[in-house]
Structure 1
Amino acid sequence: MHEHVLDNPIWQSLRSRHRDLAMEHDDAARYPAPIAPFLGVREHGAAMDTALRTLVPDGDTALLLGRAPSVGPQWELRHMTDLAQMICPEPVAAVDTADIVELGPDRREEVLALTALVYPHYFRARTMDLGRYFGICQDGRLAAMAGERMGTHDYTELSAICTHPDFLGRGYARRLLIFLSNDNHARGRVPFLHVSHENPRAVELYERNGYRLRRDIAFWSLRRAGD
Structure 2
Amino acid sequence: MIALEEQLKNPVWYSLNETHKKFVEEYDGVQFYKPEVCTFGSFFDETKTAKASNQYLKTTDHFFFVSENQTPIIDDDKVFLEKKIDGCQMVLNKLTDVEISEDIVLLGHEFIDEIYDLIWLVMPGYYRKGTYEMGKYFGIFKYGKLVSITGQRMQTNQFIEVSAVVTHPEYTRKGLAKQLIAHTTKEILKENKTPILHTNKGNLAIPLYEKLGFELTRDMNWWLYRIK
Q: TM-score, normalised by structure 2?
A: 0.89
CA RMSD of aligned residues (A): 2.0
| Aligned partner letter, 1:27 | G
SS at match of 1:47: helix
Q: Tell me, what secondary structure is at the counterpart of 1:33?
A: coil
Report the Cα offset of residue 156 of structure 1: 0.6
SS class of match (1:69): coil
Counterpart CA distance in 2 for 1:107 and 1:126 is 12
Residues 145-184 of structure 1, C-alpha deviation per residue, up to 9 Å, x if partnerless? 0000011110111111111111112111000000111211
Match of 2:219 among 199, 216, 220: 216
Q: Are residues 1:54 and 2:58 paired?
A: no
Deviations 1:105-154 (A, max 9, x none): 11111111100101222310211000000001010101100000011110
1:162 is matched with which residue: 150, 156, 166? Answer: 166
**Contact 2:30 2:48 (C-alpha < 8 Å) held by counterparts:** no
Q: 1:35 aligns with which of 29, 34, 37?
A: 37
Give the AA of the match of 1:65: V
Answer whether contact 2:23 2:37 (CA < 8 A) is retained: no
Amino acid at match of 1:7: K
Q: Is the 8 A contact 2:66 2:223 kept in 1?
A: yes
Gaps of 5+ in 1: none
Q: TM-score, normalised by structure 1?
A: 0.90
Unaligned runs of 5+ in 2: none
Query: Paired residue for 1:137?
Result: 141
* 53-62 or 112-121, which deviates more: 53-62
> What is the rounded CA distance, in whole Å, between the counterparts of 1:25 and 1:65 in structure 2?
16
Q: Select 2:21's aligned residue among 13, 16, 19.
A: 19
Q: Distance in 2 between matches of 1:155 and 1:97?
A: 27
Structure-2 separation of matches of 1:68 and 1:10:
15
Deviation at 1:57, TM superposition (A): 2.1
